[in-house]
Structure 1
Amino acid sequence: MNPTEERLAFRKGLKTGTTSGMCEGYVQTNMVVLQKEYASDFLAFCKKNPKSCPLVEKLDTGQVAPNVAPEADIRTDLPRYRIYREGVFAEEVFDLRDVWQDDFVTFLIGCSFTFEKALVEAGIPLLHQLQQKVVPMFKTNIELESSGIFAGNMVVSMRPIPNQMMDKALRVSEQFGHAHGGPVQVGNPEQIGIQDVMNPDYGEAVKFDENISTPIFWACGVTPQNVALKAKPSIMITHAPGHMLITDEVDEYYR
């Protein structure tokens, strides 16, 4: 898959599904768009919480073409977006041109989809891909460092990993510090406040056999959406969970 071609397909509305497994080897990012008045606090929030919010690029006021994908338009080239108003989810859309404001500042944040190809190449099956599901994501009790109006708890993504492959999964993902790195919890969801792994807060439930696989949890770029519910900025735009910006950057792991 070619990143430019896939982004054009999103722009034209030809594809609207999850980007997991697409353009493997290329960096994918989460996206957060805020008005300028909130940007400095959010930048500080990212720097204080790099595990959840590893910042790939910050786009200045009004800028729509990121350095990591110069031909892209972040208003159109993600498959789905979510709009929050006063901290409340308002709508999910496929195009932001009708709501775009000149004072918007965009943050592109590392995504665990970036290391999924490395896991697959290591022989580790990813059940959400095999079951054609959006990776399941959960709110946790892991408190983050606050910055201005931005405060809250970490969101994690979950991938069930065969027991005999857990050590390998940890070693592979730890190499991707710019994309959340190694997991924050292995095999004990209750410890981080998750009561039911079959009832995710975002994404879709993935079927797995608990006798042969262990749920592993990685920090997730949906965290800012969770934080927005408390921060209540007048408007905040994010990617829809599982629907990322595919950049032109080849991950260092594959260079």
Structure 2
Amino acid sequence: MDRNESSSQTQAAEAARCRQLIRQGKHVGPTAGLAPGCVQANLMILPQALASEFLLFCQRNPKPCPVLSVTAPGEIALPDMGANIDIRTDVPRYRVWRHGELVSEPQDLLDVWRDDLVTFAIGCSFSFEEALLADGLELRHISQGCNVPMYRTNVPTTGTPLLQGPMVVSMRPFKAADAIRAIQITSRFPAVHGAPVHIGDPSLIGIANIQQPDYGDPVTIKDDEIPVFWACGVTPQAIINQVKPEFSITHAPGHMLITDISNNQLAIL
């Protein structure tokens, strides 16, 4: 066994251990920093009647909605994402929506699961954040111990007959030289949002107050830093909520599905 294979097996074992802790209710908080080296995924779970339309939307909007895996209706496993995943129990906190209204934030889906539900695993910026940290770049939300700030923008997505609306972005501040390096690094990860969609003045993409994010937490932006914005996996939640389907499930922001896949597998070298 070579070193890379051994490392991948070690990472997958740690991912499985973290999922077990989550399944047992022993970890209920955000998943940032858990199972280093492993891909974490956003979730969108929809009735079969809306699933094909949502898949079309994702195909038309690969930056905010990079699909990593899709289940058949009623399936609870994601074998291509990890061994023994149970989508009903392996996320620390879910959000259950009815007609576009948030009705609960349970730690498992055992009481609400339906046989017509289709699960979409969508790429998450946690994958490229690991590469940024490895290059010595500070990520302010991590150093300040909070969730990354996310904003609704005026940047339109490419809609479908039922699904349309603006892109959601996440923001990380950098000095100019570090911003250039961040662009170079994240461009290698198109499967998890890729390069930024905007740099600089937030008002140009419809953000009125950068210290009032729509999701997540505000972070400090120093005088010599500029905000850098990436397409965000919360976009499908915002889009779906405009349609107000009779039933849908997402992860709670920051509470992701930890997979066995190595972040390196998603990088373009």
> TM-score, normalised on structure 1?
0.96
| Separation of aligned partners in 2, 1:173 and 1:149 | 31
Of residues 44, 61, 84, the one that matches 2:73 is 61
- Residues 57-76 of structure 1: CA deviation (Å, up to 9, x unaligned): 00111111102113111111
Of 70-79 and 113-122, more deviation after overlay is shown by 70-79
**Greater radius of gyration (CA):** 2
Matched, 1:165 2:178: yes
The answer as to whether partners of 1:81 and 1:95 remain within 8 angstroms in 2 is yes
| Separation of aligned partners in 1, 2:28 and 2:268 | 27
| Separation of aligned partners in 2, 1:196 and 1:19 | 27
Percent identity of equivalent pairs: 44
Show structure 2 runs of 5+ residues with no match.
1-10
| Separation of aligned partners in 2, 1:161 and 1:97 | 42
| Separation of aligned partners in 2, 1:116 and 1:107 | 22
The answer as to whether partners of 1:41 and 1:149 remain within 8 angstroms in 2 is yes
**1:206 aligns to what SS in structure 2?**
coil
- Residues 120-174 of structure 1: CA deviation (Å, up to 9, x unaligned): 0111011111111011111011111112321111101111123331110000001
2:157 aligns to what? Answer: 144
The answer as to whether partners of 1:25 and 1:254 remain within 8 angstroms in 2 is no
Matched, 1:83 2:82: no
Q: Mapping of 1:55-204 within 5 angstroms? A: 55-66=67-78, 67-204=80-217
- Residues 165-223 of structure 1: CA deviation (Å, up to 9, x unaligned): 111000000100000000001111111101111111111111231x1221111001100
Q: How many residues align?
A: 254
The answer as to whether partners of 2:141 and 2:219 remain within 8 angstroms in 1 is yes
| Separation of aligned partners in 2, 1:104 and 1:149 | 18
The code of the aligned residue for 1:213 comes to: E
Q: Mapping of 1:204-243 within 5 angstroms? A: 204-209=217-222, 211-243=223-255
The answer as to whether partners of 2:188 and 2:268 remain within 8 angstroms in 1 is no
Matched, 1:11 2:39: no
> TM-score, normalised on structure 2?
0.91
| Separation of aligned partners in 1, 2:133 and 2:152 | 26
The answer as to whether partners of 1:56 and 1:108 remain within 8 angstroms in 2 is yes
The code of the aligned residue for 2:30 comes to: T
| Separation of aligned partners in 1, 2:210 and 2:25 | 32
2:45 aligns to what? Answer: 33
Of 87-96 and 195-204, more deviation after overlay is shown by 87-96
C-alpha deviation, 1:254, in angstroms: 10
Q: CA RMSD in A?
A: 1.4
Kindly tell me: are residues 242 and 119 of structure 1, through their superposed partners in 2, closer, same or farther at Cα, counting changes over 3 Å? same
**2:90 aligns to what SS in structure 1?**
coil
- Residues 29-77 of structure 1: CA deviation (Å, up to 9, x unaligned): 1000000000110010110110110110001111111021131111111
**1:145 aligns to what SS in structure 2?**
coil
The answer as to whether partners of 1:21 and 1:116 remain within 8 angstroms in 2 is no
The answer as to whether partners of 2:16 and 2:83 remain within 8 angstroms in 1 is no
**1:154 aligns to what SS in structure 2?**
strand
**1:217 aligns to what SS in structure 2?**
strand
| Separation of aligned partners in 2, 1:181 and 1:43 | 19
**1:93 aligns to what SS in structure 2?**
coil
Of residues 25, 50, 60, the one that matches 1:48 is 60
